[in-house]
Amino acid sequence: MSLLKAIIGQQLSVASARAINTRFLNFYKGDPKPEIIINTNDEKLRELGLSFPKIKYIKDLSNKIITKEINFINIKNKPDEQIIEELTKIKGVGVWTVHMFLMFTLGRTNILPVGDLGIKKAIMLNYSLKKMPTEEKVKQVAEKNNWSPYNSVAAWYLWRSLEMNPESI
At the topology level, CATH places domain 3-104 in Endonuclease III; domain 1 (1.10.340)
Residue-level pLDDT at 168: 54
- Give the span between the Cα atoms of 83 and 87, in whole angstroms: 6
Nearest to 123 by CA among 144, 106, 104, 103: 144
Residue-level pLDDT at 167: 61
Residue-level pLDDT at 1: 46
Residues annotated as part of the active site: 116
- Sequence-distant (6+) residues with CB within 8 A of 167 are 125
Would you give per-residue pLDDT tens digits along the chain (169 residues)? 489 988 998 888 888 999 999 999 999 998 899 999 999 999 999 999 999 999 999 999 999 999 999 988 889 999 999 999 999 999 999 999 999 999 999 999 999 999 999 999 999 999 999 999 999 999 999 999 999 999 999 999 999 999 886 665 5
Of how many residues is the chain composed?
A: 169
Residue-level pLDDT at 166: 62
- Give the span between the Cα atoms of 13 and 48, in whole angstroms: 16
Residue-level pLDDT at 14: 81
Determine the residue type at 113. P
- Give the span between the Cα atoms of 97 and 58, in whole angstroms: 13
* Sequence spans of domains, the chain: 3-104, 117-168
Residue-level pLDDT at 61: 95
